[in-house]
Structure 1
Amino acid sequence: MAGAALRLQSLFEQLLGAPLPVRIRAWDGSEAGPPGAPTLVVRHRRALRRLLFKPGELGLARAWVAGDLDVEGDLFAALDVMAGLVWERGEDARGLAEALRDPEFRAAVRGLVRLAGPPLPPAPPPEEVRRPRGHLHTKRTDRRAISHHYDVGNDFYELVLGPSMVYSCAYWQTPESAGGTLEDAQRDKLELVSRKLGLSPGQRLLDVGCGWGSMAIHAAREHGVSVVGVTLSQEQAAYARKRVADEGLTDRVEIRVQDYRDVADGPYDAISSIGMAEHVGAARYLEYAGDLFRLLKPGGRLLNHQIARRPERDESAYSVDEFIDAYVFPDGELAPVGTTVTQLERAGFEVRDVESIREHYALTLRRWVANLEAGWDAATRLVSPGRARVWRLYMAASALAFEHNRIGVNQVLAVRTPDSGDSGLPLRARVWSAPGRG
């Protein structure tokens, strides 16, 4: 159909009630929209059917993952200008029902239906997780969710994460150091965790959700501790064990495929949990905190590094992000940092320090996106075009979410303080400087 792009622009602006901030290129080659803006490429009418049958974020994500939608130009800029029209509008069934009472909105929907063609709902892309709801965060469902996200091939993670093989927020020393290497920033993060935990030779460290072994290796090699690292991913464990052997640390580092709930060989002097607690779930979080508390010696420290969401006015109405749940982290849940601190304290911990490193994660994600884009052809061979598109969208959107303070990440240092009350921490654990001075 000639002029499909102009028709789409008009219909979308009717639906959104605002000018479309991106340019559109339709399947017929036509273009419409502001010159110089990022271009939304609608490769197939099927993209419209996905949006009609699943309005909002999940429909857009399905069209993106399937390759029915694409962005030409700066992906970050495109997502940034579209966020206010899609992700921040809070679309739900009640809002859609209210919108459908508007005659102009209904007319725009009918126009999209005609433009989309036969009204058959397309099958979701194969990367989408399809499973019954309920009974979340059992050992079986957690193992399956972890496998979906992490057992996609270590070569793919090497391409995205780089040589450090650390899949959590790096630590950039100052804003000016954003031009430094990702590997240096990840090493600095591991060292920051080690120093907060007060690691010293002869201690035992439990690394919960040890990933590919980077924290375990750093702690053993640089601080002389003995480490047990646990993960639910078979591929991560195999990779980590080889790295440990290559470093000559098999006498000090043990990597297990084990649920944290099954660890029974405490007490430990310290526990690191870096980017793992997002998988625990709200219903299990107090149990998680209690398990780690019992595994520590009196005076032992926990460093809990965890992504946090902003609190809702009505927490009972909070829902899990549909795209993330379906394509990225099945059963993952984010909590406000205040909730995390409260649950740790309920389990018996004394929380001694909370450090927000939100801006650091945005910098880290932009480096991961750059790695993926630079190795795009290899990435699509290692996984699939759909899975690679999932990762590109998820990491770019997440970087923007951190930059705009929609989500954060915090390091919470907690102590199993003994009855004597001596936490073992210095009076001034951190040194602050004036704004703009480092």
Structure 2
Amino acid sequence: MFYQFYELNHAIMAPWRAAADAMRLAYSNPLNPLSQTYLGRTAAAGLEVFERSTRRYGKPEFGLYETIIDGEPISIDEKIVWRQPFCNLIHFERVLEKPARSDPRVLIVAPMSGHYATLLRGTVEALLPTSDIYITDWIDARMVPLTEGTFDLDDYIEYVIEILHFLGPDTHVVAVCQPAVPVLAAAAIMEGRGDALSPASMTLMGGPIDTRINPTAVNQLAKDKPIEWFRDNVVMPVPFPQPGFMRPVYPGFLQLSGFMSMNLDRHINAQKEFFDHLVKHDGDAAEKHREFYDEYLAVMDLTAEFYLQTVDVVFMQHALPKGEMMHRGERVDTHAIRKVALLTVEGENDDISGAGQTEAAQTICSNIPDHMRMHYVQPDVGHYGVFNGSRFRREIAPRITAFQREHGHKAAAVKVIKGGKTA
């Protein structure tokens, strides 16, 4: 009933929110003499903070319409090229006059951990000038009808394999945070099968490969509670009238409360500063606040089976680093990876995936030749800075592109038949 109560509360607040927004517009209207006074600005600021604090934030857009290549603006055509009930594959097609560029084809696997794939907008934007970018756009579970079936960690791995087959040979995969485990598992399975369409390289960024190393508060929660606690306390059915009515999910609003509680003082101070910026008419600072929280507060539901299996396999059993992970009866053997180059990236101050957790992939993938592996720690950044921000653009993104160019194959030389086997 908790999810239903949340929806009811949101519905009850709707007229108050609409009234607050109307009053904000009235107080900030230049034709209103009060808009030029401290009282008017204070009232308008308070009303906007109230409206933004009680609204539901929908899925943002990527909004990437062009990039710069060799000093020239190049248009971007965003299109869905592959569809499944729980995921769309988006291609950011660069409209090039000379389409014969040899830029690497890159699959970015976005995290399915509460936020939408648009959280990686900065990642995509930084790599677009030098790469042909595709990204997984996961679907909000509350929008998927029960008739579409279930979706768990095994399905996630299968989706990654299917997408790599769809994209073809010489594809480089980048996994940000949570998907580091399923991407590594997919690569191991494909290599174990002798699949010619296994990725040319994989870049794992801030991922929980082995959470026994420098455990964070997130890791500790999974360690302290039995799986039954998560099933009984955070899994709820989607309420009517959503398309996914009665689907068991881990609701986005619960995930958001967990995110915010980790740095509650910081978020409260951010709201106070936003109020002050509005009162002082500091438009640039206020707009930066809006942009960040429009993204941060937009969350999606996860299917219960995916969430519970991930907590159990990744955070409780540590099955992948122990060599005990199974995928539909098939053991995930990371020692089978020999031809996929491996780049791991960590942030020095990451409080989500502790130092060394991602680097553990270098240890368990012991048969990758030394010249095909690299580990990089970015100084002075936390979890978000591993895949976004100025240091990512300046320090990390060029390393990713250079690594992919160094370890790419000549796709034209690889002939492939149906099923992913070499001809």
Q: How high is the TM-score relative to the length of structure 2?
A: 0.29
Could you tell me the TM-score, scaled by structure 1's length? Answer: 0.28
